Amino acid sequence: MALHNILIVDDEYYICEGLHKKLVQLNHPCIGEILTCFSGEEAISVCKTYKPHIIFTDIKMSGINGIELIHALRETLHPVQFIVLSGYDDFEYVRGAFQNGAIDYLLKPVLNDDLTRVVAAALSTLDANYRDPGKQRGTLFQFSADVLRKIVSLPISAPVPASLITNMEQIGIGPNCCIALVASLTPWNSDEATAYSNQIYDNFHHVLCNTIAESKLCILCDAKDYESLLAFLSSSVSSSATLACSVTAAYPVMQVAELYQTAEELLALRLLYGYGKIFTTMEQGHSAELSPRLKHLVTQFLENPSLISGNAQRTTFYREIEKLSLPDLRNFFQYFNEILNLTILNSNTGRKNSPKVSLFDFATYRELEEYFYNRLNEYAKTAIHTRQTLDSMTLIRNYIDLHYMENLTLTDLADRFFISYSYLSKSFRKTFHMSFQEYLRMLRMEQALTLLKDPGLSIQQIAAQVGYENAFNFSRSFKAQYGVSPSHFRNT
């Protein structure tokens, strides 16, 4: 039998104390703790740490009135039943309270029979919600879905919108928070996901929880709940062979996009270590350079597509991948897709690149292996059909065209495409009749011309978007290319 906490809010002391006494005298086995507050402001402050399931509030109070209090608390307290206390002439106020979520009202002075009736109805509704998790916290689930969707889609480099910070503050999260991701080996159905989310809400006050994919659930909580959340998740995940979980350390809410990315990276460790585990720290050490052996194998596949169907070559390829730490695996995954996409682009077959896929989308290592094989096999069929040969200089130029805004160097390109620095330097100049640096500057300046037409972008912002760390170096390169400064060009 669940216990339900009660909060009484009235700016008259004798009303609070009298109602408190009457509730105690009901001696109802489902009534838990009873607290009193003497203003709406005090009630909002108390509810940051206290979780009432029934709130009695006076309609007319100085400062925050009852309607405003209901409006302020209904988004963050779930499930909760609001009952208003009113006088005989408060009809318009009562109607406003019902419009904002109140379930009943009591006239002052409160009669015992009326109190018994509304409390019994409120407790019955709460018990029914607990028996049917799908009916619980509907508003909160929608609220959490909206907030988490914004966090998931927020670019790491972008500032966190003030509205998102406000959303988190409404639930009591901040100034520091942490994120946990729970992945299921098989997709959750809606009832399973709702039931697990309700367990989280039953145990933690300042938390948002919802699914962000059919087999992945996200939990955002205040930093002070970190240890408790970790203990709760460790207990539920370690006893399951189909769940894996990541929990980040606490960081300022302004870094919530980075925090989510960290949670995704930690959760990807399940590809290497399996399910039934909780991941809180990344493997030691930094990402190493891409394995020359792996790059050589990829080059062999692209130059000789018939090798892809060979079991021995493919088995060697998979064994090399298995040696990678997660940071190295992530770098190789990016490299693999870039090289394959560039090769397909160079084949002039009219085929589009495969949809963008993240390493975090894979549930098991087996799925990842199948992805590598399917992409290589698709390329092999295309290459054999069109009889195209690999043109390394065109591939490199295509890569530069896509990544000109990054900190590209000839050394990086030589390493990425598995050729020597001197050969690349000479071949690039011979093929395109200009040096790598000249081509890169030309590409960046052409893009800058377009960006300068947008008055909303500063010179510093444009410089950053085309690959320069500061506006001075950008302006110097622009003037060398066009004979005028960016500012002069924009003003003419």
Asked if residues 57 and 69 have their Cβ atoms less than 8 Å apart, the reply is: yes
> How many other C-beta atoms lie within 10 A of the C-beta of residue 366?
10
In the prediction, which pLDDT does 385 show?
A: 52
Is the pTM higher than 0.75? The answer reads no
Question: DSSP letter at 175?
Answer: S
In the prediction, which pLDDT does 17 show?
A: 93
In the prediction, which pLDDT does 260 show?
A: 94
In the prediction, which pLDDT does 285 show?
A: 47
Q: Cis before residue 79, ω within 30 degrees of 0? A: yes
Q: What is the mean pLDDT of each run of 10 residues along the chain (492 residues)?
A: 87 93 92 94 88 91 90 78 83 74 86 92 79 61 88 86 87 90 90 84 84 92 90 85 92 92 92 91 61 78 74 78 86 86 64 71 90 86 55 78 85 79 86 85 86 87 88 87 85 76
CB burial class (10 A; 0-12, 13-18, 19+) of residue 40? buried
What is 4-131's CATH number?
Answer: 3.40.50.2300
Domain ranges of the chain: 4-131, 138-279, 285-390, 391-492
| Domain 391-492 falls under CATH 1.10.10.60 | yes
What is the rounded CA–CA span in Å between residue 418 and residue 388?
20
Asked if residues 375 and 340 have their Cβ atoms less than 8 Å apart, the reply is: yes
In the prediction, which pLDDT does 15 show?
A: 92
What is the rounded CA–CA span in Å between residue 41 and residue 62?
10
CA 119 to chain centre: 40
Strands (E), 136-206: 176-184
Q: Which two tokens stand for residue 268?
A: 């990807």
| Domain 138-279 falls under CATH 3.30.70 | yes
Residue entry with tokens 């299921």: 184
Asked if residues 480 and 454 have their Cβ atoms less than 8 Å apart, the reply is: no
What is the rounded CA–CA span in Å between residue 178 and residue 221?
6
Asked if residues 110 and 20 have their Cβ atoms less than 8 Å apart, the reply is: no
In the prediction, which pLDDT does 252 show?
A: 93
Q: Count Cβ neighbours within 10 Å for each residue of 152-162 and write b for 16 or more, e otherwise.
A: eebeeeeebee
